[in-house]
Structure 1
């Protein structure tokens, strides 16, 4: 068996790893959001990162604008002929009033000053527009031993390095204030079949991992890679990884 941990430092991947390894949303998500909107003119993806959801929305809307405060994220975003990317904070969006049929924020709203973002959403929305806060929860691996070792890493070892906002994600955004006429959310999940290197590449994108490295706690990561490599078997074998999708959907 080839030991991935002996030949690659998976926790020093650089900014491009976010675009390479972040899981993609199922196409049903964009389709279901589009079904709720008053028209298919313009969608906004606020805190778009590298555009995982942005380009999927472009299959359903005439125009999609992805907004993110990080120049690095915008530079690495996936291109699409109906998508425009802008560097912008969620709390001060440089667009005209009442032009958006959908205002979405995927895996981002826990970072926002939400009252300021909600004020922007009301300003930008057309009548009866949809606002959607989307997150994906803690992943589950298809093998019990792998999943148990991952759960220990997530909860006990890397857990102290997560920022406080992470609790909102773990709670499925249930504790986020949401002052809109709320609509029922569909039951959806993200599923990927990943080899060991792909799985560790995804872990490397976590802010908690970067904080652990900066704190000199590389041993936590080294031990996790070693244990996971031993449990994984052939590192080219693909295991199913599943994330539940959580949503708060409202009409403005």
Structure 2
């Protein structure tokens, strides 16, 4: 049995940028191929710029927008990316200028009618609008995955904001008043050791809520169980997140 007393859930402010899984390069490449041109992509609710910087490998200019100054301050730098603080409902972008508008793991926070109105305003003819999300991870070991699922749904579940259900459903119930197109099957894949997985879990808003509610014991019990099932914490295991994509041509 593993006896590791470190606080896996006290990672500090840089944890989000360090542990959040990156999107596969195929996603940005595919999105660029659907756009009418590669002049300007606008990534709304960009966070620390995970998708934003990847889009810059395919577009002449990318604008990453997020209402959080802290997220913008830690965003991934790229010579073709400009970042700015702005809400999804009021985009500082010229009318008809964007060839791609993305929102990755962010649309569930938006006032959607106002965001969609802004997307229509800034999108040029034939521009692509894409809402991207990734679902709950899958571990390669059945016992580990079962323990993780129980923690996610039953133990930490009550501390998730209501909007989280929309992410878990792949935005299936999100209003999308556009002619939806078929999306490719994509996933995020990582090879993580135990500290990396628990570092990722530490970035969850539900974990923060549980800690504020005085439920540290819940978190440490989960970490201890996972450590026992994992074995050597330095052992790397395959982890996958399904990518959900809802997109349309404006």
**Contact 1:15–1:72 (CA<8 Å) still a contact in 2?**
no
Query: 1:91-115 deviations in whole A, cap 9, x for unaligned?
Result: 1111211110000000000011110
Deviation, structure 1 residue 30: 0.5
Report the RMSD for the aligned CA atoms in angstroms: 1.0
TM-score by length of 2: 0.98
- Mapped pair 1:39 → 2:37: yes
Task: Please give the alpha-carbon distance, in whole angstroms, between the structure 2 residues aligned to 1:179 and 1:241.
Answer: 33
- Mapped pair 1:141 → 2:139: yes
Deviation, structure 1 residue 12: 1.6
Task: Please give the alpha-carbon distance, in whole angstroms, between the structure 2 residues aligned to 1:168 and 1:59.
Answer: 29
Give secondary structure in 2 for the equivalent of 1:192.
strand
- 1:116-135 map, 5 Å: 116-135=114-133
Give secondary structure in 2 for the equivalent of 1:183.
coil
Q: Which runs of 5+ in 1 are unaligned?
A: none
> 1:159 is matched with which residue: 143, 152, 157?
157
Deviation, structure 1 residue 180: 1.1
Partner of 2:83: 85
TM-score by length of 1: 0.97
Deviation, structure 1 residue 2: 6.5
- Mapped pair 1:244 → 2:225: no
Partner of 2:170: 172
Task: Please give the alpha-carbon distance, in whole angstroms, between the structure 2 residues aligned to 1:100 and 1:239.
Answer: 40
- 1:1-252 map, 5 Å: 3=3, 5-6=4-5, 8-252=6-250
Q: Give every structure 1 segment of 4 or more consecutive aligned residues whose post-TM-superposition deviation is greater than 2 Å.
A: none
Count of residues in Structure 1 that have an aligned counterpart in Structure 2 = 250
Query: 1:160-193 deviations in whole A, cap 9, x for unaligned?
Result: 0001111111111111111112111110000000
Task: Please give the alpha-carbon distance, in whole angstroms, between the structure 1 residues aligned to 2:35 and 2:92.
Answer: 22
Q: Which runs of 5+ in 2 are unaligned?
A: none
